Amino acid sequence: MTKANTLTLKPLGINTYKEAVVYMRKDCPVCRSEGFEAPARVKVIHKNKIILATLNTIESDLLTPHEASLSTFAWEQLSASIGDEIQVFHPDHLNSLDHIRGKIYGHELNKDEIREIIKDVVNGSLSDIHISAFLASTGDDRFSEQEIFYLTESMIEVGNRISWHKDLIVDKHCIGGLPGNRTTLIVVPIVAAFGLTIPKTSSRAITSPAGTADTMEVFAPVSLDLNAMRKVIEKENGCLVWGGSVNLSPADDILIRIERALILDSMGQLVASILSKKIAAGSSHVIIDVPIGPTVKVRTTASADELKNYLEAIGKTLGIEVKTVFTDGSQPVGRGIGPALEAKDVLAVLQGDINAPQSLRERSIALAGQVLEFSPNVRKGTGYAVAEKILSSGQAWQKFQAICHAQGGLFEPPIAKHMRTITSKKKGTILAIDNRYLSRVAKLAGAPQAKAAGIKLLTPIGTKVNFGDPLFEIHAETKGELHYAVNFLSMDHEIFDIGEFE
Amino acid sequence: MTKANTLTLKPLGINTYKEAVVYMRKDCPVCRSEGFEAPARVKVIHKNKIILATLNTIESDLLTPHEASLSTFAWEQLSASIGDEIQVFHPDHLNSLDHIRGKIYGHELNKDEIREIIKDVVNGSLSDIHISAFLASTGDDRFSEQEIFYLTESMIEVGNRISWHKDLIVDKHCIGGLPGNRTTLIVVPIVAAFGLTIPKTSSRAITSPAGTADTMEVFAPVSLDLNAMRKVIEKENGCLVWGGSVNLSPADDILIRIERALILDSMGQLVASILSKKIAAGSSHVIIDVPIGPTVKVRTTASADELKNYLEAIGKTLGIEVKTVFTDGSQPVGRGIGPALEAKDVLAVLQGDINAPQSLRERSIALAGQVLEFSPNVRKGTGYAVAEKILSSGQAWQKFQAICHAQGGLFEPPIAKHMRTITSKKKGTILAIDNRYLSRVAKLAGAPQAKAAGIKLLTPIGTKVNFGDPLFEIHAETKGELHYAVNFLSMDHEIFDIGEFE
């Protein structure tokens, strides 16, 4: 006898990112008998696994009435194969949704409630709609310090967690938003060369022309699993891997995606996001770089102070030492925008090139110095000098090469096939740069997918230019992408504010 | 020269309900040049129309790299045809999303801000994720009376609005949740027979075994457009049509769907939902039936009072008279559950059948009496008697038939091919009935799609039963559906609480 509500799986290859979707004919026996219509939430059973999914109905011959399909995410969650049978039913009651409603109505959530929400975020029981309501309900600082603490704990519980057989595991993290701020690729080798353990994981670009993981990938593979990452650390004290491949905070990956759709930065979520990843990576001492400026994430010292207090207090409760460092976030760091162009800035700093961007070098040494002061062997106030020496002596460059080799590298940064120099149409001093538009041009040129593509900025703020002087270069791997970026420039956008000085 | 970012439309027939989705190959030139990945929001341009849509990427040969597809909703919004070209770009900045974020952060929204949000809800610029955050941000009574007023106004603005050349246009509405409560089909003919104008629109079932529109459809067509509805009213004073086909509050249709996914009933949204539809229908005087009981929408007299205050005050500001009537919501009304079975209860009441369910008859007369008292010709306190006379004299039954004919009816309620009587396994008195499970069985039997399917309840609360006495009948149109419903009963669910009386 066949089981109830059974359909046969056919692949359609539809990627919805992390939303589980099941595709079924509107006139299939299951939709008809259960009264299912899009966008119902349904329970999908496959062998011994159960997920909740959103129903999209098919009104064409993509499927027969006895077939169903799944989005890529749902397909992976169920480890399904072509021709397998699934059963589809009405979903059970979701306790976590009760808790979210409770939060909407202003209740304080306890540990078990937050844990149940995070568990259901990760296993897909809560849809994007539910998660969005949860995040909105915690906005305006409606999450207490206690709740942020539970949130962080719960996010750690649902992911992998690394333990090291050492007491001092350091890390650094930057509250994003500042273009070209690739200090991580310089801080990690300095710290590792000194002898401290720094298991650094980074993200890829989401909306920017390059993330730290994208830039590192110019030099070496970054998609290492936990075991491979552990081996690199054991050999070289440090690593530079993509966080997505080690699954340290799967809840965070999902919550961040919804926050991005809402363009919402809730303080509680930001704190839990950072701390959960650091603690999951086994860190004991962490430096957090908080750039403050008009176009970055943290815009006022008041909100920087609030963030600092939460990070340090909740870090302490969770057993790690967090030190927050405020830095200048008023303009981009270095010259390159795009993976390979940023990689060249990093290379210049590591190799001691006299033309290396000083802003990148200075910031990296300062942050590395702060990290080094976690060591009992570095006196307070001397970290900067120790870091500077490791960098200028070439030890950091040696260590960087060793880390790349351990990760499966070291590659030469690629050079773009096509290049166009953009010149100034007037004489004057560069007063301001619209980083968002500059980033946009870099993306249109192909970054970060095309590693060599992007922008090389030639005139930072304060530069005096004459008519016809080069302002920046556009690099692209294909002629079409170069055209695309140049065409965008010809539209009505001023990237540079050039003052009319005599 | 071809336009930038152009793809050719191919139909796939994927229905996501009201979420605009664009399907594109992950490796198509547009995704590659713009860096688009699922689930990005993108701007889709087709001829002179622009919509925002969510990107789902295709990793199979459903599409070529130069093709794209759209969900049914997006396809309709753009009035697109097979082979048409679309252009896909990054979306512009959404002001309405700023307003939603403002509400999350606790700001009071002004008229223009709420108007912009509702406009973008209806045109699809705001995704389900955004709308969910908006609804969550207004929960816990965070919407002021002024904001609810603006919300109602904005919802009226974006839909159709009917005007009548009369001063007194009446209506009635029930705050759902009570099974079998089909008073509307009796109130409308009584009121219309008296001579008042009552342009009644109703909803179809969403999660229940029948909505008022589904039950009315047993007798006559209900999917009338505005013009057809107007003609029925002009001829017969009253109508009973499906609200979905006259597009009176398109914003409400979308908001309700997200509220349902969250199982959230925000007071502000409920008030705006009801009033916007009534005002759009041109009503001047409205009776609102608020059943109060443990398993219906309004559970306490305190929240009923709050709802009453909002409805009456905001209704007054918008120029209509609203009268709220509290009724008993402790148990189902009538015997039938499912379109045809409920229709038979209605028929029995209208035809004066001595076995007609008295609860349905009484409630209908009481509500009709309240509506009639809006007339200057009906003295306060005499409405009930007037309504009772119109019903018992057969005038209401005549008017009902006339309305059905005007709408394109009158049909005979169908009778199910398959029936099973469920009997009691013990002796005692019916103390309580689990309406949710009874509704579930009716749906498994095929209601509301299968019009004749459902439940006929034989033993209301208080009935004394012996072992083997019939409790209810299951009606189904197919053997499979009957089996399906009966199998569900054999599981571990007690629908009746039968007390052990001697």
Smallest Cβ–Cβ distance between A16 and the set B4, B56, B444 belongs to B56
- As given in the structure block, the two tokens for residue B314 are 């905001």
- Residue B499 pairs with which residues in a beta bridge? B429
- Give every CB contact of residue B119 below 8 A, 6+ residues apart in sequence: B96, B154, B158
Cα of A448 vs its chain's centroid, Å: 13
A265 is catalytic: yes
Catalytic-labelled residue, pool B265, B305, B434, B469: B265
3-state class percentages of chain A: helix first, strand second, coil last, to nearest 5: 40, 20, 40
Instruction: Give pLDDT tens digits for A235-278.
Output: 999 999 998 888 888 898 888 888 888 878 788 888 999 999 99
Which is more confident, A89 or A491?
Answer: A89
Q: What is the pLDDT of residues A166-189, one digit of tens each?
A: 889 999 999 876 777 899 999 999
Q: Would the CB atoms of B101 and A264 count as touching at under 8 Å?
A: yes
Q: What is the mean pLDDT of residues B394-398?
A: 98
Nearest to B306 by CA among B106, B145, B153: B145
CA atoms within 13 A on the CB side of A391: 31
State how far Cα A126 lies from the chain centre.
22
pLDDT in tens, B7-18: 999 999 999 988
Q: What is the DSSP letter of B218?
A: T
A33, exposed or middle or buried, with CB in 10 Å at 0-12, 13-18, 19+?
A: buried
Q: Hey, of B21, B64, B132, which one would you mutate to test binding to chain A, going by the most A CBs within 10 A of its CB?
A: B132
Residues 78-107 (A) with a CB less than 8 A from some CB of B = 97, 100-101, 104-106
Give the integer Cα–Cα distance in Å for A379 and A270: 31
Residue B401 CB: number of other CB atoms within 10 A? 17
Task: At A124, list the tokens.
Answer: 């897909």
Look up the CATH number of domain A170-246+277-407: 3.40.1030.10
pLDDT bucket at A160, cuts 50 / 70 / 90: confident
Of A34, A262, A447, the CB nearest to B129: A262
For residue B97, the distance in angstroms to the closest alpha carbon of chain A comes to 7
DSSP string, B407-455: HT--PPPP--SEEEEEE-SS-EEEEEE-HHHHHHHHHHTTTTTSTT-EE
Where in chain B do CATH 3.90.1170.30 domains reside? 418-499
Among candidate residues B391, B411, B386, the one with its CA nearest the CA of residue B401: B411
Please state the φ and ψ torsions of residue A128, each to the nearest 5 degrees: -55, -35
> Helix A435-444 and helix A479-489: axis angle, to 10°?
150
User: CA dist B461 to A180, B296, B335, B426, B458, Å?
Assistant: 72, 17, 12, 15, 10
CB spacing of A105 vs B140 below 8 angstroms: yes
| Closest chain B C-alpha to A115 CA, distance in angstroms | 19
CA–CA distances in Å: residue B50 to residues B43, B53, B158: 7, 10, 17
CATH class, B418-499 region? alpha beta
* Residues of chain A positioned with their CB less than 8 A from the CB of B106: 140
Q: pLDDT tens across A330-350, in order?
A: 777 888 999 999 999 999 999
Mean per-residue pLDDT of chain A: 91
Name which CATH class applies to A6-89.
mainly beta
C-beta separation of A45 from B66 below 8 A: no
- Residue span(s) of chain B under CATH 3.40.1030.10 come to 170-245+278-407
CB of B80 closer than 8 Å to CB of B88: no
Contact A124, A73 (CB under 8 A): yes
ipTM for the assembly: 0.83
Quick check: A60 and B135 CB within 8 A?
Answer: no
For residue B122, what is the DSSP state?
H
A-B interface: how many C-beta pairs under 8 angstroms?
169
Interchain proximity A449–B19, CB inside 8 Å: no
Rounded CA-CA distance A62/A72 in Å is 16
Q: Which residues of chain A lie closer than 8 angstroms to B58, CB-CB?
A: 13-15
pLDDT of residue B409: 86
Q: Which of B56, B59, B94, B337 to mutate to test the interface with A (most CBs of A within 10 A)?
A: B56
Contact between B59 and A13 using a beta-carbon 8 Å cutoff:
yes
Q: What is the pLDDT of residue B306?
A: 92
Nearest to B261 among A33, A127, A140 (CB): A127
Backbone angles phi, psi at A161, to 5 degrees: -140, 130
Partner residue facing B12 (CB), from A29, A62, A484: A62
Average pLDDT over residues B103-116: 95
The DSSP annotation for B342-397 comes to HHHHHHHHHTT-TTS-HHHHHHHHHHHHHHHTTSTTS-TT-HHHHHHHHHHTTHHH
Residue ranges matching CATH 2.40.40.20 in chain B = 6-89
Closest C-alpha among A273, A333, A279, A283 to residue A307 = A273
Nearest-angstrom CA–CA distance, B220 and B243: 15
| CA of A428 vs chain B CAs: smallest distance (Å) | 31
- Which pLDDT score is estimated for B177? 66
Round to whole Å and give the CA distance between A385 and A377: 13
**B264 part of contact set with chain A, CB < 8 Å:** yes
Residue-wise DSSP of A85-142 = EEEEEPPPP-HHHHHHHHHHTTPPP-HHHHHHHHHHHHTT-S-HHHHHHHHHHTTTTT
Task: Report helix, strand or coil for A7.
Answer: strand
Interface check for B218 against chain A (CB to CB < 8 A): the answer is no
Select which of A27, A141, A253, A265 is catalytic.
A265
Q: Is B434 exposed, middle or buried (0-12, 13-18, 19+ CB in 10 A)?
A: middle
And the tokens for B144?
Answer: 């002021």
Residue located via tokens 């759009």: B280
Residue A355 vs residues A394, A411, B410: alpha-carbon distances, Å: 16, 22, 88
Q: In terms of C-beta density within 10 A (0-12 exposed, 13-18 middle, 19 or more buried), how is residue A434 classed?
A: middle
B-interface mutation test, from A129, A131, A135, most B Cβ less than 10 A away:
A129
pLDDT tens-digit series, residues B40-82: 889 999 998 999 999 999 999 999 999 999 999 999 999 999 9
Question: Which residue in A17, A39, A262 is closest to B17 by CB distance?
Answer: A39
Q: Which two tokens stand for residue A373?
A: 């002061």
Within 13 Å and on the Cβ side, how many CA atoms surround A194?
Answer: 31
Nearest beta carbon to residue A133 from set B17, B127, B133: B133
CB B414 within 8 A of CB B203: no
> pLDDT-based confidence at B1, cuts 50/70/90?
very low
- The CATH number assigned to the domain with range B170-245+278-407 reads 3.40.1030.10
What the block records as the tokens of A348 is: 């210049």
Strand pairing partners for A25? A58
| Average pLDDT rounded to a whole number, residues B469-473 | 94
Q: Quick one: tokens of B430?
A: 């019916």
Q: Does A15 touch chain B (CB under 8 A)?
A: yes
Task: Please state which of the ranges B227-236, B298-307, B485-494 shows the lowest mean pLDDT.
Answer: B485-494
Interface residue B24 vs chain A (CB under 8 A)? no
